[in-house]
Amino acid sequence: MTAKKNKDSKDNEQAILEVIEQYPREEASLIMILQEVQDRLNWLPPEAMEMVAKELNLSLAKVRGVATFYKAFSLKPRGEKLIKVCLGTACHVRGASMLVEELERELKVKAGEGVTEDGKFSVETVNCVGACAMAPAVVVGENYYANVTPGNLSGMLKKERAS
Amino acid sequence: MSLKLQKFASLDAFCDFANRIAKTSDGKSREIRVCCGPGCLARGSKQIHEELVKEIDSHSAELKKAGLELNVTLSEKCTGCHGLCEAGPVVTIEPEETFYVHVKPENAKEIVEKTLIGGEEIKKLLYKLDDSKGGECAHKYSDIPFYALQHRIALRNVGVVDPLDFDDWISHGGMQGFLKSLAMKPEEVIDEVDRSGLRGRGGAGFPTGRKWKSALKAKEKAGTDRVWIICNGDEGDPGAFMDRAIMEGDPYSVIEGMMIGAYALGATEGYIYVRHEYPLAVRHLEKAIETLTTAGLLGEDILGTGMNFTLKISRGGGAFVCGESSALMRSLEGKVGEPRAKYVRSVEKGLHDEPTVLNNVESFTCVPMILSKGADHFASLGSSTSKGTKAFSLVGKVKNTGLIEVPMGRTLQEIIFDIGGGIQNDRPFKAVQTGGPSGGCLPAKKLDLPVDFDSLSKAGAMMGSGGMIVMDDHTCMVDVAKYFIKFLIGESCGKCVPCREGLRQVYDLLDKITRGEGEMGDLDKIDRLCHTMEVASLCALGKSAPYPVTSTIKYFRDEYEAHIVDKMCPAGVCKDLISYEINDNCTGCVVCARHCPVDAISGEKQKLHVIDEEKCISCGICMSVCKFDAVDIKSGGIIVSRTEPVAIS
């Protein structure tokens, strides 16, 4: 188990270094580096932020400051699939907040916090995915679901669980 | 079909190429366009495209024969958003202007056989006109009121060109604006933009030409050669997706606008700041930059003219406040996106404290047209103080949801009822929200208002970036105000107290009201808090944050009072003030009982069901699964909502 853990963290380190290599080592690259690190690891573990700080010669406080300021970054592990419920105005007036509550209940996980027991899903709310004509919209990975209602959410989950 | 891309070493070489492939309207090229905007993609337009390609392939001999007779060539492509998302997936055929709606992959065969080869329309796929117009089908998209009343400048190529095909874009007039500007002196270019009357499409409406002029002055004053050009693609207003559609559907034109700006200002470097939530826009822009660089239109010594301009994309981090110019620039520097006070203007000290011009996606996209068609053409459209056209996302409870562009000065009535087709399910119109979280809600009596920068501001709303969210009688205005304040709490950077703390206090008061615990004095408290935020916040986010609240109190005071005095929510939205009840329509199909997550519904098969109010958590599932309109929402002892607010597709 420890051996595996060590291997994982070695892999992570390698991945982080690869990302950093692609950018000039300056503050202006920070957000883009963090984004790509997150794309690879699915979240931003503390060690990743420490490494980025060291490599860019920035204080950890600065890196964490940026990582906590922007919504795109997750400082907690996320599920295999991220369910984004759009809470844009168009989705709101067509009942999106009901979807968040239903998902939280159904999956027993709070939006923006934690992962389902099987590690499959995390739920997040987003301010607007720009798919207003499909309101209310839910995005899972690259799949957009249009006109979602509390009643047809379970169908969506079934489909996503299977794939 | 695309020619192999080469580097154009000179202006002449490029002009030759552009002239050679320019689309001629001799009707000899036939095109089938599959909408791959977000709405249509979600409904399977990629599969439709694949099927069409297959069918065209397998019918190639017949198509060739049919084509030979008519002497036409056929091409098929995926395009950006056609606009009428409600009817998606949409497929159009040019030059006939045939407009097929709700297309399914299995329709591909008949589209090829009947329409492309046989030349006949497939009636079931045509758009049905409103019953009031005889319930006929539209034979062309220009027959559809949604399109007939529009005028497209910023969206000219969206839904027309293949966003990844450089040749296609050039053949539709791409680069003509840039070529025109190269023949002019830089100052003349700025004058032309100034004369067009173009005002910033991101929301503030600052004249673009004037901004460019001040940047030029700032450059001289600072004695520097450096000036940055930034395109703001951080479309953060919820309910707005015009910029997304442009970046995804016509990325080359955004860049062309920036190139014209770079030429006019002598800028050598630029950024496009794209919202984190728009990965497809990033991909399309990246591809466009790569192609333009290969073609020698970006980079060093562009077309042998000596002009240098490189462009980079920066993905935003998902912070609404970064749509604010000074915060956006901090974000580009890799910092936390906090705005700064505006006594130093960003045209003088912007990115890296150097002169910077920041314009919105739509503004940049208008610039090539201003150059190629002339400032006078642009200025001839629109109203006296707001020139040209404006793109809007028309969404919410309107029939024709989608993307539109109209000359400034059209009334709300025309936009919502003539283009938008009115309210879904023919319910009464209640309000329209414009300008995002900085905007306001306007009631029915303001429907005659012309939509331009100044008229909207005067009415207490705002043009904003162009989101227009239509609301019906099932939208609670107190809830909407609370929604925007909650949104802004999450997005306030926290640097200044009036915004950070004011928002929280206003939220608590609104929440109290929606829970039925409000008192009349709360409205005065809200009013005072809003006033403080308006005058004392550091940036526009905080200053304009109260508008959704003040405008709803101004126009919908009775609804606030209903919550406070009668403890009821007339729209049937606020959870603590409503209950669900099953009416006589119930057939006893047990679907609702089966779906209820808390087993609050009891009843036998084929007998009227009953909801146990004690157990019910008002999740709304029963209502959304009921096929017989048998679930009502009650508030204050009256039935306030009878039909399911969302159409299930």
Asked whether residue A52 falls in the same domain as residue A87, the answer is no
- Residue after which a domain boundary falls, among A69, A97, A124: A69
- 3-state SS of B478-504 is HHHHHHHHHHHHHHCCCCCHHHHHHHH
Task: Please check whether residues A116 and A62 belong to one and the same domain.
Answer: no
A127 lies in some domain: yes
- Do A108 and A136 fall within a single domain? yes
pLDDT on residue A8:
73
Between A and B, how many residue pairs show a Cβ–Cβ distance under 8 A? Answer: 182
Q: What pLDDT is recorded for position B341?
A: 73
Domains of chain B (ranges, CATH numbers): 23-145 (3.40.30.10), 166-379 (3.40.50.11540), 389-472 (3.10.20.600), 477-564 (1.20.1440.230), 578-641 (3.30.70.20)
- Note whether A60 and A119 are same-domain residues: no
CATH number of domain containing A126: 3.40.30.10
**Residue B54 in contact with partner chain A when CB distance is under 8 A:** no
pLDDT exceeds 90 at position B578: yes
B595 neighbourhood in chain A, CB within 8 Å: 151
Query: Does residue A87 share a domain with residue A65?
Result: no
pLDDT at B70: 55
Q: What is the pLDDT of residue A36?
A: 92
- What's the confidence (pLDDT) of residue B131? 63
| B471, pLDDT greater than 90 | yes
Please state the φ and ψ torsions of residue B194, each to the nearest 5 degrees.
Answer: -60, -45
- Do A65 and A98 lie in one domain? The reply is no
pLDDT at B648: 35
ipTM metric: 0.87
Do residue A146 and residue B397 have CB atoms under 8 angstroms apart? no
Q: What is the pLDDT of residues B171-186, one digit of tens each?
A: 899 999 999 999 999 9
**Does B435 have pLDDT greater than 70?**
yes
Tell whether A57 is covered by a domain.
yes
Whether A133 is in a domain gets the answer yes
**pLDDT 10s digits, B345-378:** 888 889 988 999 999 999 999 999 999 999 999 9
CB contact under 8 A, A133 and B41: no
In a domain, A100, yes or no: yes
Instruction: Look at chain A and report how many structural domains it folds into.
Output: 2
The CA distance from B563 to B556, in Å, is: 12
**pLDDT band (50, 70, 90) for residue B311:** very high
A144 contacts in chain B (CB < 8 Å)? 38, 41-42
The residues with which B324 forms a beta bridge, in sequence order, are none
Does the pLDDT of residue B453 top 50, yes or no? yes
| Mode of pairing for the β-strands spanning B307-315 and B269-274 | parallel
Tell me: cis bond preceding A136? Omega within 30 of 0 counts: yes
Cis peptide before B186 (omega within 30 of 0): no
Q: Residue A75 domain-assigned?
A: no
Percent with pLDDT over 70 in chain B: 95
Q: Note whether B41 contacts A35, CB cutoff 8 Å.
A: no
pLDDT tens profile B30-40: 889 999 888 88
The pLDDT value recorded for residue B645 is 43
Confidence of residue B2 (pLDDT cuts 50, 70, 90): very low
User: A35–B336: do the CB atoms touch at under 8 Å?
Assistant: no
pLDDT band at B1 (very low <50, low <70, confident <90, very high): very low
**Residue A105 in domain:** yes
Mean pLDDT, range B586-596, rounded to an integer: 91
Token output for B442: 């306007």
User: What part of A 1-60 touches B (C-beta under 8 Å)?
Assistant: 26-32, 35
A63 with A10, same domain: the answer is: yes
Q: Which domain holds residue A63?
A: 2-69
pLDDT at residue B446 in the model: 93
What residues 132-171 of chain B have any CB closer than 8 A to a CB of chain A? none
Same domain (yes/no): A44, A116: no
B273-285 residue pLDDT tens: 998 888 889 999 9
Q: Do A41 and A106 have their domain in common?
A: no
What is the C-alpha separation between A42 and A15, in angstroms, rounded?
12
On whether both A59 and A108 belong to a single domain, the answer is: no
Structure tokens at A121: 């899903």
**Pair B236, B273: CB distance under 8 Å:** no
Is residue A74 in some structural domain? no
Task: Answer whether residue B535 shows pLDDT above 50.
Answer: yes
A46-50, B1-5, B401-405, B464-468, range with the lowest pLDDT: B1-5
The CB-side HSE value for B524 (13 A sphere, CA atoms) comes to 3
DSSP alpha helices (H): ranges in B565-634? 591-595, 621-625
Contact yes or no for B530/B460 (Cβ under 8 A): no
Taking all residues of chain B, what is their mean pLDDT, rounded to a whole number? 89
B393 to chain A, any CB pair closer than 8 A? The answer is: yes
8 A C-beta contact, residue B545 and residue B488:
yes
Using an 8 Å CB-CB cutoff, list chain B residues near A65.
336
Interface test with A, best of B46, B395, B401 (most A CBs within 10 A): B395
- The partner residue sitting opposite A89, judged by closest CB among B238, B317, B620, is B238
- Domain assignment present for A49: yes
CATH number at A8 reads: 1.10.10
Is residue A114 domain-shared with residue A86, that is, in the same domain? yes
Decide if B197 contacts B205 (C-beta within 8 A): no
From A69, A103, A126, give the residue that closes a domain.
A69
| pLDDT confidence of residue B344 | 77
**Minimum distance, in Å, between the CA of residue B315 and any CA atom of chain A:** 7
Identify the domain boundary among A69, A93, A122: A69
Report yes or no: B248 at the A interface, CB cutoff 8 Å: no
Residues B272 and B314 sit within 8 Å (Cβ to Cβ): yes
Phi, psi angles (nearest 5°) of residue A121:
-125, 150
pLDDT of amino acid B521: 94
Closest by alpha carbon to B433, among B468, B474, B476, B478? B468
Q: What is the pTM of this model?
A: 0.90
Supply the pLDDT for residue A71.
Answer: 84
Could you tell me if A64 and A87 lie in one domain? no
Give the CB-side neighbour count of residue B469, counting CA atoms within 13 A.
36
B244, B403, B467: residue with CB nearest A89: B467
Question: Token match 């996106």: residue?
Answer: B337
- Residue ranges of chain A whose pLDDT lies below 70: 1-7
B646 pLDDT higher than 80: no
Contact of B339 with chain A, judged by CB distance below 8 Å, is answered with: no
Q: From residue B130, how far is each of B56, B151, B403, B406, B420 by CA, in Å?
A: 33, 22, 19, 21, 12
